[in-house]
Amino acid sequence: MKTGIDAISFDVANIHLPIKTLATARNIEPEKLEKGLGLIKMTLPDTYQDTVVFGANALTKLITENQINLNEISRIYVGTESAIDNSKPISSFLIALMEQKFGEDTLSECDVVDFTFACIGGVDALQNCIDFIKLNPTKKAIVVTTDFAKYDLNSTGEYTQGAGALAMLVTSNPRIIAFDENWATSTKGVFDFFKPYRSLSKETITKNKNNDSWFDNLETEIEIHKDQPVFDGQYSNQCYMDRTRNAYFSFKKLKNTTETLYENWNSIIMHLPYSFQGRRMLSEIYALDSESKIISGEESTSEYQNKLKEISKSEAYKAFISEKLQPAELASSLIGNLYTGSIFMGLLSTLAHFYDTKKEISGTKFGFLAYGSGSKSKVFEGTIQPEWQSALSQIKLFENLTKSVEIDFNTYERLHKKEQKQSIRTPKNEWILDRIEKEIPNLIGARYYKWID
């Protein structure tokens, strides 16, 4: 029996800042970002959007476009690192909104939970749902990834921002891709990228040394939530390479093969925090697993790094990237970082590219190199199924991405600082954040959403 992804949908923030506009404002040479990192646009949430909105929109599209009977869905598992509550998961919001739209109690027996492990949480959710379907082949599950990648203004991560969600139906005998049995993992507990609890002393804010109550806070310290992470870019890149390399060669052991794995993959799908990140990280695996043994891994550190730089600039490696990885980069260039959704947007980008160019890929294998800071990598593979084209016929990824509304730099900064109160677009056929309760004591902070026709 085969298990995998039967259907897929997406919802991406429909306003964007051109990377050239950001580069000019930050005194960065635009070519450094456009040609060096592969960035073209950066998507941003409108004032009425958050991660629940993106997830609900993607899930609604999945249900309506594929005429899914919600009574057949046994679980909806969410991968995210952009939770809006420290207790109530995004998945619980999603079932409430789906019942609001499709009927009360239609998901009352559906299991829901969120998975959090930086950018690999969605892959964890997928693997869990695949295992569930293997044990229960007549049942169906849905994986939703939803995130908002936000970085501090003027930071080195600012130009990699993005926002959106994907939803995937996981079944037996899937139409799009069936995953193989082997999944390899490499894990290490590090601080390459994280979102810690932060605090300020109450006295600093109130100038009062008596620890009087301040907005019902009796503690001497006020905790602060920030969507923006603490990160070390170079260290994070090294962790990405180390975990992915280790997981890749563990995968070879699981398959008990000495063949070059990537040669058997029609396409390679990687986590892409920015469009060209994958090609920068992949050169080491490309060299170590090559039939010609380009490098052995026994060189001195300086020799090793110099050889990797030479390899990454070689015509052979560029041709390899163009064939195996570039289709996954296309959407990333126009969207930005989707955190948990980035690897799945890479999959959708690749499928949409082959669909649009009318290339038949049925029966070919895709290799997946997933990564999440903190840090963990998973390597796995799947086979494209004969009905993949019919399953993609309604998606029109690249056509939809052209409909994004461009904003100017001042509007971008107002949105980032939450100074912008008026929405940029008028919502239509989508979910919106309607209000946040501020008065009823036992509902303070409750978020309410509604569908706009």
Give per-residue pLDDT as tens, 147-204.
999 999 999 999 999 999 999 999 999 999 999 999 999 999 999 999 999 999 989 9
Residue 299 confidence (pLDDT): 78
Q: What angle do CA 218, 220, 225 make, to 5 degrees?
A: 90
Report residue 173 as tokens: 């005998």
Q: What is the mean pLDDT of residues 112-120?
A: 98
| Model pLDDT, residue 290 | 86
Q: What is the predicted pLDDT for the residue at 295?
A: 79
Per-residue model confidence (pLDDT) at position 291: 73
pLDDT at residue 260 tops 90 = yes
Q: How many other C-beta atoms are found inside a 10 Å radius of the C-beta of residue 62? A: 21
Last residue of a domain, one of 173, 207, 224: 224
Q: Where are the beta strands (DSSP E) in 240-285?
A: 265-270
Give the mean pLDDT of the chain: 96
CATH of residue 115: 3.40.47.10
Do residues 270 and 316 make contact, with C-beta atoms less than 8 angstroms apart? no
Same domain as 279, residue 257: yes
> Number of structural domains, the chain?
2
pLDDT attached to residue 323? 97
Shared domain check, 153 and 211: no
Q: What is the pLDDT of residues 267-319, one digit of tens each?
A: 999 999 999 999 999 999 999 998 776 777 777 888 888 888 898 999 999 99
Angle subtended by helix axes 277-288 and 326-335, to nearest 10:
160
Q: Give the list of residues 6+ apart from residue 341 with CB closer than 8 angstroms, or none.
A: 10, 79, 122, 145, 146, 147, 164, 165, 166
298 lies in the same domain as 309: yes
Question: Could you say which of 224, 240, 267 is where a domain stops?
Answer: 224
| Residue range(s) defining the domain that contains residue 219 | 194-224
Same domain, 185 and 112: yes
- How many CB atoms within 10 Å of residue 229? 21
Q: How far is CA 110 from the centre of its chain?
A: 24
> Is residue 170 located within the same domain as residue 263?
yes
Percent of the chain with pLDDT over 70: 100
Identify whether residues 219 and 261 lie together within a single domain: no
SS3 (DSSP) at 330: helix
Q: Cα(405)–Cα(161) distance, rounded to whole angstroms?
A: 16
The letter for the amino acid at 360 is E
pLDDT at residue 22, as a whole number = 98
Looking at the fold, whether 88 and 208 belong to one and the same domain comes out as no
How far from 242 is each of 51, 232, 297, 304, CA to CA, in Å? 30, 15, 13, 14
Please give the share of the chain, as a percent, with pLDDT higher than 90: 92
Task: State the pLDDT at residue 292.
Answer: 72
| Burial class (CB within 10 angstroms; exposed 0-12, middle 13-18, buried 19+) of 236 | buried
What is the tens place of the pLDDT at every residue in 199-242? 999 899 988 888 989 888 999 999 998 999 999 999 999 999 99
| 3-17, 75-89, 112-126, 198-212: the lowest-pLDDT one | 198-212
Residues 344 and 219 in one domain: no
Contact in structure between 371 and 120 (CB atoms under 8 Å): yes
Given this model, what pLDDT does residue 134 score? 97
Same domain flag for 132 and 240: yes
Residue 324 has pLDDT above 90, yes or no: yes
Q: What letter does residue 339 receive in the DSSP assignment?
A: G
Give residue 209's pLDDT. 86
> Each residue of 107-116: b (16+ CB within 10 Å) or e?
beebebebbb
Mean pLDDT for 402-413 is: 98
Residues 217 and 182 in one domain: no
pLDDT at residue 95 is higher than 80: yes
For residue 301, the model assigns a pLDDT of 81
Are 373 and 236 in contact by the 8 Å Cβ rule? The answer is yes
Q: Check whether residue 60 and residue 199 sit in a common domain.
A: no
pLDDT at 240: 97
Based on the domain organization, do 360 and 248 belong to the same domain? yes
Query: What's the rounded Cα separation, in Å, for the pair 224 and 205?
Result: 12
* pLDDT value, residue 64: 98
